[in-house]
Amino acid sequence: MIALSLIGIGTGNPDHLTRAAEGAMRAADLILLPRKRAETAELLDLRAAICAAVVGETARTATFDMPGRDPTLPYLDGVDAWHDAIAAAWRGAIARHLPDGGRVALLVWGDPSLYDSSLRIAARLRAGAMPVTVEVVPGITSLQALAAAHAIPLTGLGTPLLVTTGRRLAAEGWPAGTEMVAVMLDSGCAFERLDTACTSIWWGAYLGMAQESLLAGPLAATAPAIRDERTLLRARHGWIMDCYLLRRDAARAAASDR
Span 173-194, pLDDT tens digits? 999 889 999 999 899 999 999 9
Residues of the chain with CATH 3.40.1010.10: 2-137
Residue 107 CA to residue 111 CA, distance in Å, equals 10
Contact 173/162 with Cβ under 8 angstroms? no
> Does the structural domain 142-257 have CATH classification 3.40.50.2300?
no
The candidate with the shortest Cα–Cα distance to 129, out of 87, 77, 80, 79, is 87
- Homologous superfamily of 2-137: Tetrapyrrole methylase, N-terminal domain (3.40.1010.10)
Residue 221 CA to residue 198 CA, distance in Å, equals 12
Residues of the chain with CATH 3.30.950.10: 142-257
Residue 255 CA to residue 249 CA, distance in Å, equals 10
Span 29-71, pLDDT tens digits? 999 999 987 777 888 888 999 999 999 888 899 999 999 999 9
Q: Give, as one character, the DSSP assignment of residue 72.
A: T
What's the predicted TM-score (pTM) here?
0.86
Centre a 10 Å sphere on the Cβ of residue 112 and count the other Cβ atoms it contains. Answer: 23
Using H for helix, E for strand and C for coil, what is the string for 108-143? ECECCCCCCCHHHHHHHHHHCCCCEEEEEECCCCHH
| Contacts (Cβ under 8 Å, ≥6 apart) of 138 | 8, 18, 111, 112, 113
**pLDDT of the chain along its 258 residues, tens only?**
999 999 999 887 888 889 999 999 999 999 999 998 777 788 888 899 999 999 988 889 999 999 999 999 998 999 999 999 999 999 999 999 999 999 999 999 877 778 788 999 999 998 777 889 999 999 888 899 999 999 999 998 888 999 999 999 999 999 988 999 999 989 999 999 998 889 999 999 999 888 999 999 999 999 999 999 999 999 998 889 999 999 998 655 555 544
Amino acid at 66: M
Residue 244 CA to residue 222 CA, distance in Å, equals 12
Report the first-to-last Cα separation within the chain, whole angstroms.
65
